[in-house]
């Protein structure tokens, strides 16, 4: 499950990174705690060259009442035990809530990092999960839909993040799922309107754990109204050792070290 994530990049960074424009009608505000019900930037297959704001938590168009599907399981009803070695069928293509969207309504969900906790303790013991080497923003694989409120006739555009089996890092957190993070070269494939469905579902795999890391934060992130840099300050060491090259010396980072250079730097998210 991926129910909270972070996006604090400036509009110019997002435009350059994804080759899109941010319309003048949209003001991007740094968000340290994007959760269900919040509106957040997406890049959709029908408007792949611009940012739109959709609600996090998808309501399929055919539903009679609003719902919030924040995640969509790539395996669908397969792999009920969340076996991390599962490589079988992608049942998302047959699930009523998602089968239309995964075929024709896909989106990129830009993010700098995401928040996850153990399966049992959840956000009572949260971690910031990020990509190493200052790789941000990145993109989750998402799906979207448009639902009409039959009483007000308001159209609600919303999205869900696709999840897959847990990689090694998520297993260290003791969580049973991973959000699908797309390789940069696969992002435009995900938005393609002509790529065969079989090729689309092949993209629904865990991101390599060796390219990621995580550190614990305080459970104040549970408060959906909270949104400030202090939410993501470390309260413990990283889960995985990191090694960098500094001149001719190899430096191993085993603790929190310097957050501005080696961790998730909330003050300088681009790493420049």
Mean pLDDT of the chain: 90
Q: Bridge-partner residues for 211, per DSSP?
A: none
Prediction pTM value? 0.90
- Within its chain, how far is the Cα of 155 from the centroid? 24
Q: Which fold has domain 4-262?
A: hypothetical protein yedk fold (3.90.1680)
Q: Which of 75, 107, 116, 187 is catalytic?
A: 116
> Is 94 strand, coil or helix?
coil
**Four-CA torsion 155, 106, 197, 67, nearest 10 degrees:** -50
Q: Which of 2, 75, 187, 266 is catalytic?
A: 2
- Is 2 a residue of the active site? yes
Picking from 170, 120, 132, the residue whose alpha carbon sits closest to that of residue 265 is 132
pLDDT grade, residue 264 (50/70/90)? Answer: low
pLDDT digits (tens, 9 = 90+) for 26-48: 999 999 999 999 999 999 999 99
pLDDT digits (tens, 9 = 90+) for 170-224: 999 999 999 999 999 999 999 999 999 999 999 999 999 999 999 999 999 999 9
Q: In whole angstroms, give the CA distance from residue 143 to residue 42.
A: 10
Q: Token digits for 46?
A: 């029908």
- Is 116 a residue of the active site? yes
Q: Any idea what DSSP says for residue 49?
A: T
On the question of pLDDT at 78 being above 70, the answer is: yes
Up-side HSE of residue 217: CA atoms within 13 Å toward CB?
27
């Amino acid at each position: 499950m991926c129910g909270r994530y972070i996006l604090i990049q400036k509009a110019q960074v997002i435009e350059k990174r994804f080759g899109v424009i941010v319309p003048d009608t949209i003001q991007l505000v740094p968000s340290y705690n994007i959760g269900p019900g919040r509106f957040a930037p997406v890049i959709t297959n029908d408007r792949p060259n611009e940012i739109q704001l959709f609600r996090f938590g998808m309501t399929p168009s055919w539903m009679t009442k609003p719902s919030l599907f924040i995640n969509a399981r790539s395996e669908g009803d397969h792999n009920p035990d969340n076996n991390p070695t599962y490589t079988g069928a992608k049942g998302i293509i047959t699930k009523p809530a998602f089968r239309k969207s995964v075929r024709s309504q896909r989106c990129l969900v830009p993010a700098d990092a995401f928040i996850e906790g153990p399966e049992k303790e959840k956000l009572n013991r949260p971690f910031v999960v990020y990509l190493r080497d200052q790789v941000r923003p990145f993109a989750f694989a998402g799906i979207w839909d448009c639902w009409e409120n039959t009483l007000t006739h308001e159209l609600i555009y919303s999205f869900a993040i696709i999840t897959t089996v847990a990689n090694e890092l998520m297993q260290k957190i003791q969580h049973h799922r991973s959000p699908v993070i797309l390789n940069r070269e696969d992002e435009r494939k995900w938005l393609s309107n002509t790529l065969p469905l079989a090729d689309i579902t092949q993209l629904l795999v865990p991101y390599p754990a060796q390219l990621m890391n995580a550190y614990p934060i305080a459970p104040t992130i549970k408060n959906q109204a909270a949104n400030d840099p202090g939410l993501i300050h470390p309260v413990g060491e990283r889960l995985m050792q990191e090694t960098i090259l500094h001149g001719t010396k190899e430096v191993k980072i085993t603790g929190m070290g310097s957050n501005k250079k080696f961790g998730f730097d909330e003050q300088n998210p681009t790493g420049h």
